[in-house]
Amino acid sequence: MKKVENNAKTNRRAVAIRLAGYFAKYKFSVIFAFLLMLGSNLFALLGPYLTGKAINAIDLDTGVDFNAVIFYCSLMAAFYVASGVFSYILSVVMIKLSQKIIKSMRKDVFDKIIALPVGALDKMQAGDLINRISYDIDTVNASLSNDILQAATGIITVIGALVGMLAISPALFGVFAITIPLSVFITVQRSRQVRPLFRKRSGKLAQLNGYSEEMISGIKTIKAYGREEKMIEKFAGKNKDAVDAYYAADYLGSLIGPSVNFVNNFGTVLISTAGSLMYLFNMIMLGDISSFLLYARKFSGPINEYANIMSEIQSALAAAERVFRLLDELPEGSADNAEEELENPVGDVAFEHVRFGYDPEKIIIRDLSFEAKAGQTVAIVGPTGAGKTTLVNLLMRFYDPQGGRITIDGKDIKRYTRSSLRAAFSMVLQETWLFEGTVRENIAYGKSGATDEEIRKAAKEANIEDYIEALPLRYDTPVTDGGVNLSKGQKQLMTIARAMLSPAHMLILDEATSNVDTRTELLIRAAMDRLMQGKTCFVIAHRLSTIKNADLILVVKDGDIVERGKHEELLEKGGFYSEIYNAQFE
Amino acid sequence: MKSLLGYLSVHKKRMTAGLIIKSLGTVAELFLPMIMAYMIDEVAPTGSILALSLWGAAMFVFAVVAWGGNVIANRMASRVARDTTEVIRNDLFSSTLYLSARQTDEITVPSLVSRLSSDTYNVHNMIGMVQRLGVRVPILLIGGVALTFTVEPVLALVLLAVVPFISLVVIFVSSRGIVLYTDLQRAVDAMVRKVRDDYTGIRVIKALSKGDYEREGFAAINENVVEKETRAGVTMSISNPILNVVLNLGMTVVVLVGAYRVSKGLAMVGELIAFTSYFTIILNAVISISRIFVNVSKGSASAKRICAVLNMPEELVKDDSLVPEKNTGERGTVKFEDVTFSYDGAPALEDISFELKKGESLGVIGATGSGKTTLLALLLRFYDADKGRVFVDGADVRSYEEKELRSKFGVVLQNDFLMAASVEENIKFERDISDRDMKDAAERAKAASFIEELDEGYDSKLTVRGSNFSGGQKQRMLIARALAGNPEILVLDDSSSALDYKTDASLRATLREKYPDTTIILIAQRISSVRFADKILVLDKGRAAGLGSDAELMKTCEVYRSIYESQGEAGGNA
């Protein structure tokens, strides 16, 4: 137990040091901010001292020394205004500084997401990544622009107030000192009790949010089955847990503020009583009591905030740790050594004894070998889950095989840079993907600097032109969640248009046309045949009619190639292929 | 109109009680400097140590009252915050589920999710914080002015003069804050969308080596967030220094004016000290109030977003004028009568008519975007037709309560929804379905074989969106779900596309054999999936290109024939 705690502590320290590294880039701003903070606080701390001086000058026994009062009061006003101006500039500097840091952190996180291997991303959830880039970084930001400042201000104020009180009256300080261990005890003790409750609170809230996200994504189905009431009932249960956990944390937490205030007031009681007594025996001047009271209040302010700040810094460190953990994931290609560019490949592709499983314990492709000559079409068929999309993942090096090798033009694909390898393929994947942007941007995505004419041509070849022309803004129509109502098939046509634009050397069609009606598919196929000339092509589909012209059909079952050959040969053979082929006419 | 205040008004009594208790505690705190002034000015000159000690003890009692009052009031406030949030969140979830499809499209699903999660959280925070910290400042100001007027009216005027400044700053900063934080939230939403987008499309991005392009796009969004956040932060950060300066200057004026009053014998020095204490107490409270500015700004913006959903008009309600027509038709019949519909002006369906008797089957086939899924959406009344009428069991769909209408159907939607729960929970889907019926349905949907092979059978857990199952397995579970309720009408939208031909064919045979009385509507891309149907509707750009049996259509419908040819032997060498 102890060891775990120690580990967590060293871990936190490492995180803090790493965070500090971000500051190091902005040394001058940091130094400037530090000076401003020092100035602002010292001026503010002089206030009570001057107040005391002014009040001392009003002492009744000697009459009011107006000159002195006016002098001290003008100084006070000047110092307070200066302190206010400094602290405003300081806030602005800190916000700008923390925003710079946050911006580069966000950029780092996003760049990392893009750079991560697909295999690593597949293991993460979108919600988790979003949490890190928004909520976690936000938490760090709040801490950077606020808590650090408050903590530093607090330290200076506490020390300054201590010095002030000691300077005014060590005896009175002796009385006041009784309250110090009390306030320290309260803050430390309470925040220790509250922390696990806060953790529980965020846990329950996360569960609730996960549930509502899931249910809302299935809203149509819930409606179709009329299950709204049941889901609302379940939600209410989880909601109750969440608000109760929140309340439990609040219940204890609500004690801290008033308790620290109480200690503070208790200090006032002690100082007033002792001060009056001392004044009675002429041991202290009234102005000094006033200064002392003001310092005592200043002293307890930061202590009151200590618990808040500490818990915020803790959660900021935890958030930063989550962000750093993501940043520390190895990017794709970090283990690569060969950096050969794959340029204008002939397109001879071969799998040689490839062995692969997403989970190394669960091999799904045991021993796969085949060869596709340049310009040939390889069709991969077989039931769902047999491992057909896996071949694409391997070809594009989204994943690497555990055994064997894949070659292009006789060389292991691991010897080529990933970007040149991937640029050699154009593809239409099973999951259609459009991003937020216009229709034009989505089509032109495959080729930077594509002309309008090229885009239109691609759209025409993909048979989506008519549809686009019917849109209110045509090619400038935004494609968004809430925007145009694109059907699954239309989305796919757009991605086909995108692939049309790409000047790639090899083509991958993964279930490419499964969402397009066959009539359209015929037209697309015709266009693709033109596009594919002299290129190697991999087609993965259930629809056998579209792959009958393939030079090689690979029949995949349970990860292995069970049959291979041309359509007629396979039909004659009367094996697994002919079985699934004939099923469609039953 | 629902509003946050409306939700809070239920707790009016508790909040008032809390406010009174809080006021008592806070005012007790204000008595401390007054007692101190009295001790210095009146008691100390008498030289009585006992009297001083007694007054000291009295101060202590006030300090305890202040502590108790604040703790109790804070806890009451937390309870109000908890109860209010619980109700708001339940209402919001329920409103969300009852939104019409058009309303859901308009707000978008991600936005609904963030309203339920972060927005309700912000409101919870705000309700608690305002009651705990927000009311402290007004109480201190009002109580302080009232109390000091009895002691030294002229100095009290100085304190009073500070109030408008403080109010102005608070009002200005918090109202600007609401606007700025709303802007910021919008920028953050865009960022979240970008991340979600790219996560989904990472394979395409990598395949096309578009990493740099995406990074640039993100940089612009990031820049925008930073700009909005800086603006909000800078505006907010002005409050603290100004409030500090105002209160500290007030204290300076008290000393100056006090000096004059004391010299004239109108005030005592102890009172002066008391006043400086007041200013410090108020200052401490004001500084903590500026901490809740951000909370209030975020919370109000969130409350607006929540109320926007709560106040959405109820759409697709039962049309009572149509009720008399009900129960005239046979159960299990479906009829479309000259139905026309568009999403936003662009027609999705035009003049569609067909009729199905009990136990008949309809196949719907057509190109992508030809309106097949829209047909289903109108049948289930996710939307209302612009023209024409849709009938189920002989009655207009608008004459039903939503629930009654939908209870007649078993549906599998395109890319349908599976929960992160057990196979059993997904098939039963919160309905009263016996284990036997569930297993029968799984058997008939060709799902039983793979489910029973799982380590935990029907208790096996699905991950989010069922990502631990293959596409074909998911579709079969969904079909089992639709069959398990023994529906009058079964609607399957592209729900066997991931099945191999063999399984698909055997599923069709089972449906024919085991569900002779169930009316079936089957939307598909493959002609082989719809050929068996009694009637086939061929859609082309939202219009009916043909309606009839396979044999009829082969003779009369050119579109159908060309689809057939492209999928059969003849079309193979295109």
Residues of chain A contacting B470 with CB distance shorter than 8 Å: 384-385
CATH code of the region B4-310: 1.20.1560.10
Residue A333: pLDDT over 80: no
Which residue in the set A88, A262, A470 is minimally distant from B241, CB to CB? A88
- The predicted pLDDT at position B378 comes to 92
CATH code of the region B415-486: 3.40.50.300
In the stretch 78-107 of chain B, residues with CB closer than 8 A to chain A read: 78-79, 81-83, 85-86, 89-90, 93-94, 96-99, 101, 104-107
pLDDT tens per residue, range B236-262: 888 888 988 998 899 899 888 988 888
Give the DSSP per-residue string, B389-422.
EEEETTEEGGGS-HHHHHTTEEEE-TT----SSB
Which residue of B lies nearest to A123 if distances are taken between CA atoms? Answer: B467
- The predicted pLDDT at position A379 comes to 82
In this prediction, residues A65-88 reach a mean pLDDT of 91
In this prediction, residues A332-339 reach a mean pLDDT of 66
CATH code of the region B328-408+489-574: 3.40.50.300
Task: Show me where the domains of chain A are located.
Answer: 15-166, 349-583
* B249: contact with A, CB 8 A cutoff: yes
| Best-predicted range by mean pLDDT (A539-553, B281-295, B333-347, B558-572) | B333-347
Return the SS3 of B162.
helix
Interatomic CA distance for residues B381 and A84, integer angstroms: 62
Please state, for a pLDDT cut of 70, what percent of chain B lies above it.
96
Angle subtended by helix axes A228-280 and B12-38, to nearest 10: 10
Residue B569: pLDDT over 50: no
* Residue A355 β-bridge partners: A403
CB contact under 8 A, B215 and A114: yes
* A95: contact with B, CB 8 A cutoff: yes
In this prediction, residues B391-404 reach a mean pLDDT of 87
Residues of chain A contacting B531 with CB distance shorter than 8 Å: none
Higher pLDDT, A38 or B345: A38
In this prediction, residues A211-233 reach a mean pLDDT of 85
Interatomic CA distance for residues A418 and A395, integer angstroms: 11
CB contact under 8 A, B501 and A273: no
In this prediction, residues B309-317 reach a mean pLDDT of 85
Residue A1: pLDDT over 50: no
φ/ψ region of A199 (left if φ > 0, alpha if ψ in -120 to 50, else beta) reads alpha
Interatomic CA distance for residues B550 and B561, integer angstroms: 10
- The predicted pLDDT at position A514 comes to 46
* Residue A419 β-bridge partners: none
In the stretch 172-191 of chain B, residues with CB closer than 8 A to chain A read: 188, 191
Question: What is the interface pTM, i.e. ipTM, of the complex?
Answer: 0.83
- The predicted pLDDT at position B192 comes to 83
In the stretch 337-356 of chain A, residues with CB closer than 8 A to chain B read: none
In the stretch 441-460 of chain A, residues with CB closer than 8 A to chain B read: 445-446, 448
Which residue in the set A222, A255, A434 is minimally distant from B97, CB to CB? A222
In the stretch 506-545 of chain A, residues with CB closer than 8 A to chain B read: 514-522, 525-526, 542-545
Q: Which residue, B329, B372, B330, B364, is CA-closest to B348?
A: B372
Answering whether pTM is above 0.90, one says: no
DSSP designation for B320? G
Task: Show me where the domains of chain B are located.
Answer: 4-310, 328-408+489-574, 415-486
Please state, for a pLDDT cut of 70, what percent of chain A lies above it.
85
Interatomic CA distance for residues A60 and A402, integer angstroms: 93
Which residue in the set A246, A332, A495 is minimally distant from B124, CB to CB? A246
| Best-predicted range by mean pLDDT (A562-566, A568-572, B339-343, B465-469) | B339-343
Domain B4-310 shares a fold with domain B328-408+489-574: no
Q: Which fold has domain A349-583?
A: Rossmann fold (3.40.50)
* A206: contact with B, CB 8 A cutoff: no
* A470: contact with B, CB 8 A cutoff: yes
- What value does the mean pLDDT of chain A take? 80
Burial of A196 (0-12, 13-18, 19+ CB in 10 A): exposed
Q: Are A270 and A179 in contact (CB under 8 A)?
A: yes
CB contact under 8 A, B498 and A384: yes
- The predicted pLDDT at position B490 comes to 92
Say which CATH architecture domain A15-166 belongs to. Answer: Up-down Bundle (1.20)
Domain A15-166 shares a fold with domain A349-583: no
Whose structure tokens read 């009367």?
A574
End-to-end CA distance of chain B: 61
Which of the residues B34, B567, B573 would you substitute to probe the A interface, choosing the one with the greatest number of A C-beta atoms within 10 Å?
Answer: B567
